[in-house]
Amino acid sequence: MGALAPIRIDRTGPRPLSRQLANAIRGMIESGRLKSGARLPATRLVAKEVGVSRLVAVTAYEELATAGYLHSVTGAGTFVQWKPRGARAAAKATRAQPRNKDHRAVGRSVCMLPMTRQAFEIDHPPVDAFPLKTWSRLASRCCARDMRDVLTDDDPAGFMPLRRAIADQLLETRDFRCGPDRIVIVSGLIQALDLTARTLIKSGEEVCFEEPGRPVLRAVLANAGAAIIPVPVDAEGLVVEAARRVARHPRLIMATSSRHHPLGVVLSERRRAELLEWRWAHDAWLFEDNSEHELAVTAGSLPVLATSDSDARTIFYGAFRSTISPALRLGFVVVPDALVDRFLAVRILTDGYRPLFEQSVLAEFMASGQYASHVRRIRDVYLERQAALTDAVQSRFGHVARRVSADGGLNTAFHMPGPVDILAERAASAGLVVRSLRSFFAASPESSGFILGHAAIEPEQGRAAVAMLARLWQSLEASRD
């Protein structure tokens, strides 16, 4: 067990075993024996060495995390993060000093911040579920063969074998028939929307944007000079009737057909028909985010908007972020025939093309059929973890927290009244990533809630983290009484 040994537990004393264990570890931290950044043994090893149940060890770690002595990193372990009082006071004084603000600077959205690896981290698939050995073998195969085709490929639309593999996958999984010449490889949703806006939007033109929605995407549209029209989202997705009332001449309509971010709802069949009819009436373009189709159970039985749009004015976006990793930074856009040349011209002027080696490996992964097998496997993993998280939240919070999200995907949203923003701040100090739903609204919403990532956290870890979150909430509620 290393740095934590020896620890003595008095089984006859009045103090709970978990409190004794927590006090012993706290003493090691405050004395400097365990320094900030040190990795602690797993709770299973601690319990075995000390001679207590694992629940005792988990409770002790949670208590120390709540007090600011420890923080957990999903997939990596538990680490010391405590600072001596003098250091904390100095850091606080430094933060309190006024800064010279440049009002021309654009503030960073939370979506632009570096990703952490903590409990409930959103938008992140589990690293342990990805077949790294298979990926490494395919990468070695790509390196071993003649690489001249890859190294000399300068097509701004992306690596043709990957585009063919994507076209085959779209036909198989979505009944979406399109040629590879209409597919453009991009680095992700931000770039896909940026290229679309640069291609279609003139300053002052209306763009209908889902509310709530990703703040960084609002920034992309604002940068293009669009007049952003927020349109509410309910349990059936984009509220088309509301869009009719607020938008007079929409040039572009953004809609998520698979699984909305952050609410996790799926666009219903009725709303899809209404949306396409309204788009046709205004001769507008439609940007369809279908990036979580493969992970959304309900969406799998519904046709994508691009296949139902008879005028072919839908820009379709898909991604590998949720199924493989955000680090791959590969997505794709299916562009209508009438728009391909303009879209690629903008692409060449702004970005060129993505590095080709990752594209070649992904093409092999898809063409071999192993990507489809991987998706089927992780869909079950995500559903299991989402169910465990939902059960834990309902057990700890009861009817106060109401789940909003449909089955599947990476995250689960809950509506909950009360000071959720303050809860999110306190959770952050305890090593939990809790995102308030308010942060995704341009205007103050009528209801509050939070979003938790369930894909990257195992059920047992999720239950322990929810228990910690519930204690923080109880403490917050007690202070309000």
What CATH number corresponds to the domain at position 272? 3.40.640.10
| Identity at 353, one-letter amino acid code | Y
| Contact call for residues 259 and 295 (beta carbons, < 8 A) | yes
Domain finish residue from 317, 348, 370: 370
319 in the same domain as 384: no
| Contact call for residues 453 and 122 (beta carbons, < 8 A) | yes
Q: What is the pLDDT of residues 194-250, one digit of tens each?
A: 999 999 999 999 999 999 999 999 999 999 999 999 999 999 999 999 999 999 999
Q: Which of 219, 283, 223, 230 is nearest to 254 (CA)?
A: 230
Write the CA distances from 416 to 122, 211, 431, 437, integer angstroms: 18, 18, 21, 10
Q: What is the DSSP string of 417-439?
A: -S-HHHHHHHHHHTTB--EEGGG
Look at residue 107 and tell me if it is in a domain: no
328 in the same domain as 453: no
Q: pLDDT-based confidence at 298, cuts 50/70/90?
A: confident
Q: What is the average pLDDT across 137-164?
A: 81
pLDDT value, residue 364: 93
Q: What is the pLDDT of residues 381-424, one digit of tens each?
A: 999 999 999 999 999 999 899 999 999 999 999 999 999 999 99
467 in the same domain as 407: yes
pLDDT value, residue 3: 52
181 in the same domain as 117: no
Q: What is the DSSP string of 288-301?
A: EE-TTGGGBTTGGG
Q: pLDDT-based confidence at 193, cuts 50/70/90?
A: very high
Domain that holds residue 212: 132-370
Mean of all residue pLDDT scores within the chain: 86
- Is pLDDT at 96 greater than 70 in this prediction? no
Q: pLDDT-based confidence at 52, cuts 50/70/90?
A: confident
276 in the same domain as 188: yes
CATH at residue 11? 1.10.10.10
179 in the same domain as 281: yes
pLDDT value, residue 57: 83
Q: What domain count does the chain have?
A: 3
445 in the same domain as 342: no
398 in the same domain as 365: no
C-alpha Rg value of the chain to the nearest Å? 25
Look at residue 445 and tell me if it is in a domain: yes
| Identity at 198, one-letter amino acid code | R
- Is pLDDT at 110 greater than 60 in this prediction? no
Domain finish residue from 370, 389, 419: 370
- Is pLDDT at 10 greater than 70 in this prediction? yes
344 in the same domain as 302: yes
* Spatial distance between the Cα atoms of 293 and 305, rounded to a whole number of angstroms: 12
CATH at residue 439? 3.90.1150.10
Q: Which two tokens stand for residue 176?
A: 């979406």
Look at residue 189 and tell me if it is in a domain: yes
453 in the same domain as 345: no
* Spatial distance between the Cα atoms of 47 and 56, rounded to a whole number of angstroms: 7
pLDDT value, residue 437: 95
Look at residue 302 and tell me if it is in a domain: yes
Domain finish residue from 342, 370, 398: 370
Look at residue 322 and tell me if it is in a domain: yes
pLDDT value, residue 83: 66
Look at residue 9 and tell me if it is in a domain: yes
- Is pLDDT at 192 greater than 60 in this prediction? yes
Q: What is the average pLDDT across 101-127?
A: 58
pLDDT value, residue 152: 64
225 in the same domain as 149: yes
- Whole-model pTM? 0.76
Q: Which of 122, 121, 117, 24 is nearest to 69 (CA)?
A: 24
Look at residue 94 and tell me if it is in a domain: no
- Is pLDDT at 447 greater than 50 in this prediction? yes
Q: pLDDT-based confidence at 109, cuts 50/70/90?
A: very low
Q: What is the pLDDT of residues 354-367, one digit of tens each?
A: 678 889 999 999 99
Q: What is the pLDDT of residues 273-293, one digit of tens each?
A: 999 999 999 999 999 999 998
pLDDT value, residue 446: 78
The residues facing 403 across adjacent strands are: 414
* Spatial distance between the Cα atoms of 130 and 370, rounded to a whole number of angstroms: 11
299 in the same domain as 158: yes
Look at residue 288 and tell me if it is in a domain: yes
